[in-house]
A and B are shown apart, each in its own frame.
Chain A
Amino acid sequence: MVEITIRKRPRTESVVTQRKFYKKTARGKVIKVLRERYLRDDIGCGIQGCGDCENSTSDPLPFTGDTQHNAYPDGHYILPDTNVFLHQMDLMESSLFRPPIVLLQTVMEEVRHRSIPLYNRLKALIRMDEKRIWVFYNEFRSETAIIAEEDESPNDRNDRGIRRAAQWYNEHIKLNRNVVRGQAKPKLPVVVLMTEDAANRNKADESGIPVTSIRNYISMFPENTAAQLLDSLSTAEETTLEPKLSGDGRQALYPEYYPESTLQAGLTTGNLYKGHFNASSYNYLQGTVSVHDLPKPVLLIGRENINRAVHGDQVVIEIFDEDKWGVEGDEVVDQEATLKNDDAADSDEEEENDEIIRKEAHAARVGEAAASKKQAQPTGRVVGIVKRNWRPIVCHVDATALPSASVPGSNSAKSLSIQTLLAHPTSTLLPRIRIRTRQGPSLVNKKILVAIDAWHTTSRYPDGHFVRVLGDIGGEDAEREGLMLEFGISYGAFGSAILGCLPPEGDQWIVAPKSDDGMWKGREDLRDLTICSIDPPNCQDIDDALHARPLPNGNIEAGVHIADVSNFVHADTPMDTEAAARGTTVYLVDKRIDMLPALLGTNLCSLRPNVERLAFSAIWELTPEAKIVNVRFTKSVIRSKAAFTYEEAQIRKDDPTLQDPLTTAIRLLNTLAQKLKAARMAAGALNLASPEVKIHLDSAESSDPIDVEQKELRETNSLVEEFMLLANISVARKIFEAFPATAVLRRHLPPPQTNFDKLKDILKKRKGMSLDVSSSGALANSLDKCVDANEPAFNTLVRIMATRCMLPAEYFGSGSVGRDTFGHYGLASDIYTHFTSPIRRYADVLAHRQLAAAIGYSPLHASLHSKANVERILEVVNRRHRMAQMAGRASVEYYVGLALKGRNERQGQGQTVTEEAFVIRTFRNGLGVFVSKLGIEGLVMFKRDLTEFDADNYCVTIPGSSAAVSGDKDVLISVFDKVVVNIEVETDKNTQKGKVKMTLVHPIDSRAL
């Protein structure tokens, strides 16, 4: 029973409690808005043991405040203003920074207004266990609520409100700590206003409010933490407040962005375009922007045209006249190599280095020169930024950049003088970042996290600040953490609130006896069915199992049983929220980052053999020709009879002596699967390929990779896959029928034809083959014909390249897009969803909930009725999904590198790994090659002057006069040629960064080039 009351708002106070303002609508109409607010006295100060306030919280601020700080021996709390959170979030998040914080509602709202991502970080910060933060709703407390005065800007009003709250807090503490006679006067902690705004500080000083700037505050920290925290300070703030750094006398390197109004006008009239900036991984001075309305991505060539855009930013671009259009540069330009000697301190002065100018100008020119020859691509330049994609970046520091006096180990390394360094991001897509640090020497050989703060027109590199050290370069933990940070994967342990949602029995949990109405309600007893699961070896999260049996009428009953995760993960619980935020389980080579706590994933929801488990079953009646007669869905209880690996199942199926029920069931499933697959192929499904390799790890503990091999595909892989597809499609139909507006579905849009242009051209010119991309079926057929009799791997290569031309599949809510765009291109299905892996994908959990509601098992949670809500969740899931894929790939790449290193070492000095590779791209000064056996791509570089490059025919000719060529004949290398490369892992001496380096061995030895 809740208490319902009526709030009072005395008319006499209406000056404070009513707010009147005018606002202009989108149509330009001005309307008057009147709002009221109710001021209260029951908003607590959050300080433990406060006599006046009822602080019904489990986690109040400590009574004495924080007494560690040198400037405030009597204890203190800090009260930061909005800018502190806007600019110094990294500092606030640092685990070293832990004074108790009073966070005002005014500040929260201002942060929310300015930046939603920062607001989300702020909210996460409040929830963090180790931080002591009290949110004080100052705008609703009668003593601290203020109204804007005449001619007062909203900013000034908020500042005044913050000062008022700080003042109130200090008085409030004084009032509540009475001097008891005969005892020493109690120490009064103070609430310190923290602000970077000097004017605000002065005003606070005048009213006697303790006030500090961040820098002053931190420098008074105990010695060792001060230095680290000072580095975490963002520089963006400083430069705006100390204008001497920017401007005066310095030459602007980049054009200014257009003002906001010009951008808006340009976008509406169609003169300017909006899109995401994608940096090129081959050439750091080049990037593309895909614009929705244009068939081809727009090229940005050269530093000025890229104009401070960073990979992933949403930018506004201007397109040049057609006579300036060009093609992508045909040369590899490596930032590291070109800018090796560009010192951070030098570039501070921005003395243009002649050599750099020359090189960069050349790189930019190459693109234009070739323009006349070939079909030109539109080019343009960035004129504004809509949204920055600035997240923490994993970097390392170049040892040579440090002054020689402070090389590691020497005594002066301990001196904490400020140095300006360039941090090199691990990803080649990102620019180097200038940071100022006091711990320079100790950062060498470490992976560090750096955040970008600003990029001024006068500075060649963006300015950033140091966030924290991840670990030693090459250390697996640091590499892994760096990788996860890079892809924004949250890898922390599950919090106590989340673990609280697990069943209290823990791993003792069992399916209740059948007499239990609660758990068994609406569930079918399928424990007697011969169900088994088939998974990769060492699979712990078994989320699907299968069965099949002949029916008396000659048909076959087949069933797919999926772990009933929605029985444990209920909507709107902390566990659900966390799972939605994680979106998917991430599989790295040596680690799995779970979406759900391990107890569920690997135990309670895992359909282990010979244990009773809850399941969600889809059961079909199929004709022997694998046509669906009918399908039903039910929640069930199953007991799997066996858990096979693909290999075991295959061996069992192929062994004619085995006639036990499990084996016959597998054979039955297999025959059905083959027919299902044939039907799918006939409908035009694509058989795509992606380079998949498997890493052998030495043992669980050391996790040193031993070797790499390509994944083997068996018949049983296809068996499981076919039934999963069948289940997903059947479920998709069912939930779409039940919830036409909010069903969680998955689609794969057909790729635009122009995506295939280049591949088609190469195939035609080099191999005389053609691709028909008019539909997925036509593409599948023509892909089948791309066979080189001498080269079995060629077909796979073409498939891989075709796959890269396609769009990624995505989740969507059925009400959000047109019905005709539901189709799944790759699977050639008109509707599809994900249902079969709820342990590791969040979309599946949603599909489970909707299916349960569709069959009337349980009502659908309110949040899944709201279209906007479903859209929002799926947007996150889509992003997470993409990130997880990229992280997985990056992890494989890293381990392939390690494995190669290991192989090289085993083979001894002088011997290196050589592998066959296909050329997939040609440059003026190099080749892009793909090593199918290892699933990696690499770059072979030549010295430029020695080769002749024919961009139209995708080939490079090495003249016979060159030293590398044995004999006198010219050697021609073109795309799709098979070459032999030598692969070694070399470590950059300065940065300690391991790099895979490839050189040609056959047909020529590029080492001599």
Chain B
Amino acid sequence: MAPRIEVLNDGGFRSDGRRQYELREITIDLTQQGAADGAATITHGLTKVMVSVFGPREAKLRSQTIHDRANINVEVTIAAFSTGERRKRNRGDKRILELAATIKSTFEPVIQTSLYPRSQIDIFVQVLEQDGGLLQACINGATLALSNAGIPMLDFVCAVTGGVQLTSPMLDLTLLEENDMPHVTVAILPKTSKATLVTMETRLHVERFEEILRLAGEAGNILHRVFKGALRNRTTRLVASMDSGTRVAGEDDAMES
């Protein structure tokens, strides 16, 4: 029995009208969110993640302080309404903990934690909508929120999911595609072209893996450009409003890249 949808049809189109190497639409909103030191809402197509960053600040628990660097604390909550089927996930859910741990280990080598000994940086990730590429959205959102909060990092972290249908690689998978083929999530540091995260839960052939890794790296560079543009745009507007001395009421600089 053939699958109900064709992931990649003969004309080279994917089920949502994209071609193999086309990423979904990205929107970035860097608006201030309450008391957070930095915040970002990012969407990749129909996946939407809101990230707020607090810190560096004093750790709530003494036991969590590290004497020579800051501790990174990642907490992920997945909204019950984020998937088609309403499903509540508890904080202790294994998948959520794993997601948080992955994000943490991705950022540990990138954030210059040694500048803030004995302090803590909190990254709160809220998943609002899910349609594939959840990890990639979380990481990208966290990068933007961290830089929005002014936390020094060595580089941006740009994450992309790549998959392969028999022999054709494709980028930025939707949920439908993720269910149907092996995929990897790759996070790279664009300046040095180093990968800070490569993870997959499915089996992938070695030869295909190389190809996907390379492609995801290139896609990371594209994302880098978009992130930089969004941050520059946001900063320019902040600076402009400071210069004019007026507060920008009801500021809404959601940026559509």
Residues of A within 8 A of B (CB): 1-9, 11, 18, 29, 31-40, 105, 108, 112, 116, 123, 126, 135, 137, 139-140, 572, 859-860, 862-863, 865, 869
**Shortest Cβ-Cβ A-B pairs, 3 listed:** A140-B17, A31-B84, A38-B17
Q: Which of B2, B84, B206 has the most CB of A within 10 A?
A: B84
Contact partners of B218 in chain A: CB under 8 A: 1-2, 4
Contact A7:B24 (CB < 8 A) given known A116-B2, A135-B11, A140-B17: yes
- Identify whether the interface residues of A are mostly helix, strand, loop, or mixed: mixed
A sample of 19 inter-chain contacts (CB < 8 A) reads A1-B218, A2-B21, A5-B23, A7-B18, A8-B25, A18-B46, A34-B84, A35-B15, A35-B176, A36-B45, A37-B16, A37-B17, A38-B16, A112-B6, A137-B9, A137-B13, A140-B13, A863-B166, A865-B205
Query: In the complex, are the beta carbons of B222 and A39 less than 8 A apart?
Result: no
Tell me the complex Cα distance, A638–B232, Å.
68
Tell me the nearest residue of chain A to B4, going by C-beta. Answer: A113
Return the CB mask of B159-182 against A: 1 if under 8 Å, else 0.
000001011000100101000000
Tell me the complex Cα distance, A38–B15, Å.
10
Query: In the complex, are the beta carbons of A6 and B24 less than 8 A apart?
Result: yes
Contact partners of A32 in chain B: CB under 8 A: 84-85
- Identify whether the interface residues of B are mostly helix, strand, loop, or mixed: loop
- Chain B interface residue count, CB cutoff 8 Å, equals 41
Please tell me if B257 contacts chain A, counting CB pairs below 8 Å.
yes
Contact A139:B17 (CB < 8 A) given known A2-B215, A123-B10, A859-B207: yes
Contact partners of B226 in chain A: CB under 8 A: 6
Query: In the complex, are the beta carbons of B17 and A135 less than 8 A apart?
Result: no
Query: In the complex, are the beta carbons of A3 and B21 less than 8 A apart?
Result: yes
B164 to chain A, nearest CB (A): 7
Tell me the nearest residue of chain A to B84, going by C-beta. Answer: A31
Tell me the complex Cα distance, A33–B5, Å.
14
Contact partners of B215 in chain A: CB under 8 A: 2, 4
Tell me the nearest residue of chain B to A872, going by C-beta. Answer: B2
Query: In the complex, are the beta carbons of B2 and A6 less than 8 A apart?
Result: no
Please tell me if B247 contacts chain A, counting CB pairs below 8 Å.
no
Contact partners of B24 in chain A: CB under 8 A: 6-7, 9, 36, 38
Partner of B25, one of A6, A105, A137: A6
CB within 8 Å of A: which B1-60 residues: 1-2, 6, 9-11, 13, 15-18, 20-26, 45-46
Tell me the complex Cα distance, A35–B257, Å.
21
Contact partners of A572 in chain B: CB under 8 A: 166-167
B256 to chain A, nearest CB (A): 8
* Known A2-B21, A35-B174; 10 more pairs at CB < 8 Å: A6-B22, A6-B25, A6-B222, A37-B16, A38-B17, A123-B10, A137-B11, A139-B17, A859-B205, A859-B206
Contact partners of A2 in chain B: CB under 8 A: 20-21, 215, 218
Contact partners of B1 in chain A: CB under 8 A: 116
Tell me the complex Cα distance, A859–B207, Å.
8
Query: In the complex, are the beta carbons of A135 and B167 less than 8 A apart?
Result: no
Contact partners of A116 in chain B: CB under 8 A: 1-2
Q: Which of A4, A126, A572 has the most CB of B within 10 A?
A: A4
Tell me the complex Cα distance, A788–B53, Å.
94
Contact partners of A3 in chain B: CB under 8 A: 21
Tell me the nearest residue of chain A to B222, going by C-beta. Answer: A4
Tell me the complex Cα distance, A112–B171, Å.
26
Tell me the nearest residue of chain A to B85, going by C-beta. Answer: A31
Please tell me if B219 contacts chain A, counting CB pairs below 8 Å.
yes
Contact partners of B9 in chain A: CB under 8 A: 105, 108, 137
Q: Which of B1, B22, B222 has the most CB of A within 10 A?
A: B22
Tell me the nearest residue of chain A to B22, going by C-beta. Answer: A7
Tell me the complex Cα distance, A574–B241, Å.
62
Contact A4:B166 (CB < 8 A) given known A32-B84, A859-B207: no
Contact A7:B25 (CB < 8 A) given known A31-B84, A38-B17, A865-B203: yes
B202 to chain A, nearest CB (A): 11
B68 to chain A, nearest CB (A): 40
Tell me the complex Cα distance, A18–B205, Å.
34
A926 to chain B, nearest CB (A): 44
Tell me the complex Cα distance, A865–B203, Å.
9
Contact partners of A860 in chain B: CB under 8 A: 205
Contact partners of B208 in chain A: CB under 8 A: 862
Contact partners of A40 in chain B: CB under 8 A: 17
Tell me the complex Cα distance, A859–B256, Å.
45
B9 to chain A, nearest CB (A): 8
Contact partners of B2 in chain A: CB under 8 A: 112, 116
Q: Which of B25, B26, B45 has the most CB of A within 10 A?
A: B25
Contact partners of B22 in chain A: CB under 8 A: 4-7, 38
B115 to chain A, nearest CB (A): 34
Q: Which of A8, A33, A36 has the most CB of B within 10 A?
A: A36
Return the CB mask of B71-99 against A: 1 if under 8 Å, else 0.
00000000000001100000000000000
Contact partners of B155 in chain A: CB under 8 A: none
Query: In the complex, are the beta carbons of A5 and B207 less than 8 A apart?
Result: no
Tell me the nearest residue of chain B to A38, going by C-beta. Answer: B17
Query: In the complex, are the beta carbons of B25 and A34 less than 8 A apart?
Result: no
Tell me the complex Cα distance, A18–B166, Å.
28
Tell me the complex Cα distance, A29–B11, Å.
35
B15 to chain A, nearest CB (A): 8
Please tell me if B253 contacts chain A, counting CB pairs below 8 Å.
no
Tell me the complex Cα distance, A11–B29, Å.
14
Contact partners of A18 in chain B: CB under 8 A: 46
B180 to chain A, nearest CB (A): 11
Tell me the complex Cα distance, A749–B199, Å.
43
Query: In the complex, are the beta carbons of B46 and A36 less than 8 A apart?
Result: yes
Tell me the complex Cα distance, A126–B207, Å.
32
Tell me the complex Cα distance, A1–B222, Å.
14
Partner of B23, one of A7, A135, A140, A863: A7
Query: In the complex, are the beta carbons of B84 and A33 less than 8 A apart?
Result: yes
Contact partners of B16 in chain A: CB under 8 A: 35-38
Contact partners of B131 in chain A: CB under 8 A: 34, 36
Tell me the nearest residue of chain B to A109, going by C-beta. Answer: B6
Tell me the complex Cα distance, A2–B211, Å.
11
Tell me the nearest residue of chain B to A32, going by C-beta. Answer: B84
B171 to chain A, nearest CB (A): 7
Tell me the complex Cα distance, A1006–B129, Å.
84
Tell me the nearest residue of chain A to B172, going by C-beta. Answer: A6
Partner of B164, one of A1, A36, A105, A862: A862
Contact partners of B15 in chain A: CB under 8 A: 35
Tell me the nearest residue of chain B to A35, going by C-beta. Answer: B16
Contact partners of A105 in chain B: CB under 8 A: 9, 11
CB within 8 Å of A: which B213-242 residues: 215, 218-219, 222, 226
Query: In the complex, are the beta carbons of B257 and A6 less than 8 A apart?
Result: yes
Q: Which of B11, B20, B23 has the most CB of A within 10 A?
A: B11
Tell me the complex Cα distance, A7–B27, Å.
11
Tell me the complex Cα distance, A116–B3, Å.
11
B248 to chain A, nearest CB (A): 22
Tell me the nearest residue of chain A to B225, going by C-beta. Answer: A6
Contact partners of A126 in chain B: CB under 8 A: 10
Tell me the complex Cα distance, A116–B203, Å.
28
Contact A38:B18 (CB < 8 A) given known A6-B222, A859-B206, A862-B208: yes
Contact A862:B166 (CB < 8 A) given known A2-B21, A7-B25, A38-B17: yes
Query: In the complex, are the beta carbons of A4 and B84 less than 8 A apart?
Result: no
Contact partners of B205 in chain A: CB under 8 A: 859-860, 862, 865
Tell me the complex Cα distance, A819–B13, Å.
41
Tell me the nearest residue of chain B to A145, going by C-beta. Answer: B17
Contact A4:B23 (CB < 8 A) given known A34-B84, A36-B46: yes
Query: In the complex, are the beta carbons of A135 and B222 less than 8 A apart?
Result: no
Contact partners of A8 in chain B: CB under 8 A: 25
Contact partners of A139 in chain B: CB under 8 A: 17
Tell me the nearest residue of chain A to B203, going by C-beta. Answer: A865
Tell me the complex Cα distance, A743–B88, Å.
42
Tell me the complex Cα distance, A18–B23, Å.
17
Tell me the complex Cα distance, A869–B18, Å.
25
Tell me the complex Cα distance, A862–B18, Å.
24
Partner of A39, one of B11, B17, B207: B17
